[in-house]
Structure 1
Amino acid sequence: MTVEVGSPAPDFTLKNQDGQEISLGDFKGQKAVLLVFYPFAFSGICTGELCSVRDDLSSFQNDDVQVLAISCDPVESIRAWARQEGYEFPLLSDFWPHGAVGESYGVFSSDLGFSFRGTFLIDKDGIVQFLERNGPGDARDQQGWRDALQDLAA
């Protein structure tokens, strides 16, 4: 099944950079979630994208929206990367079963062993309101995220 706008977002539970479990369902009825899949910690485009989120966090995360970033990197890698870059939002590890969450969102490549760039805005009811899927070398235009967040808030 492919996740599309208007469909329920697949629930998941993953460990964050501190080893704590976070579930998408934890936010249901409380906050919308901006779910950002990225291929690899410490890579150039991924670092640039998440540093843009970090540097303008209030545009993406607030009392109504939570940013969750997901890769197939192990917890130890995302912990080191989060500390190095000063990320103040959860980085989640889809390491094992390898890429299972990315696969459920249609962004995991089993041939390559990582998730492509996928962005999903999930409302408080757990319904996908915005999505984009980009290839691993294709940086995202975050203005689309800002526009989707404004539409959701309206």
Structure 2
Amino acid sequence: MVTGSSLPAPAAGQHAPAFALSNQYGELIESSAMGEDAFFLVFYPFAFSAVCGSELEELQKIHSEFTAQGVRILGISVDHKFALRTYAEQIHCGFDLLADFWPHGAVAKRYGAFNLESGAATRNTFLIQGERIIDSFSSPIHQARAITRYRQALELLK
């Protein structure tokens, strides 16, 4: 999906790579524990950056809408969990922010969402259910993903 990425991103219908990462509170979040529950895996470059902050704040505004439909949001960046906790408090984030800190960007790389040149995650989103990719979309590094695109993806679950 993105130039300089380590692997191609998995496409709709393909198996979603497994992950186990700490969230901003140090709790282990494992994809295998999600069962048949749907979730958005939202890769973003860095905490405390302008575009990432505005994008995550927009997701926070519709978080309850997604939760009501049984869909979780998991943000994921290469930042450390301690940085993510401070960041989550600053932007009043009510969903999990996962630390793909070490090995550096390992999960982002498996999802084709790691920019080798910048060492950061790219703006890729995957809707996952039952260990399968349902939908995926991305945006350029300096452009937030449209909230309407998340809603379009949710329609695929109905």
Q: Shorter-chain TM-score: what band? A: over 0.9
Gaps of 5+ in 1: none
1:129 paired residue among 127, 134, 144: 134
CA distance in 1, matches of 2:30, 2:68: 18
Q: Secondary structure at the match of 1:36?
A: strand
Counterpart residue type for residue 5 of structure 1: A
Paired with 1:73 and 1:45, the residues of 2 have a C-alpha distance of 15
Cα distance in 2 for partners of 1:148, 1:53 equals 14
Name the stretch that deviates more: 81-90 or 55-64: 55-64
Partner of 2:26: 19
> Take 2:103 and 2:123, find their aligned partners in 1: how far apart are those partners?
19
- In structure 2, relative to structure 1, the CA distance for the partners of 1:77 and 1:90 (3 Å cut) is same
Number of matched pairs: 151
Secondary structure, aligned partner of 2:156? helix
Q: Report the Cα offset of residue 16 of structure 1.
A: 0.3
* Higher mean displacement: 85-94 or 142-151: 142-151
SS at match of 1:102: helix
State the AA in 2 paired with 1:47: G
Structure 2 gap ranges (5+): 1-6
The structure 1 residue matched to 2:156, chosen from 144, 151, 154, is 151
2:75 matched to which residue of 1? 69
Q: Is 1:57 aligned to 2:84, yes or no?
A: no
Deviation at 1:135, TM superposition (A): 2.5
Q: Give deviations 1:89-144, integer Å, cap 9, x for gaps.
A: 00000010000000000010122110110100001x21111101222112211201
Shift of 1:63: 5.3
TM-score normalised by the chain length of structure 2: 0.91
Instruction: Name the TM-score, length of structure 1 as normaliser.
Output: 0.93
Structure 2 counterparts to residues 1-154 of structure 1, below 5 A: 2=8, 3-29=10-36, 31-62=37-68, 64-123=70-129, 125-152=130-157, 154=158
Identical aligned pairs, as a percentage?
38
Aligned 8 A contact 1:59 1:146 in 2: no
1:3-43 residue CA offsets vs partner (Å, 9 max, x unmatched): 111101001000000011101111022x1011100001111
CA RMSD of aligned residues (A): 1.2
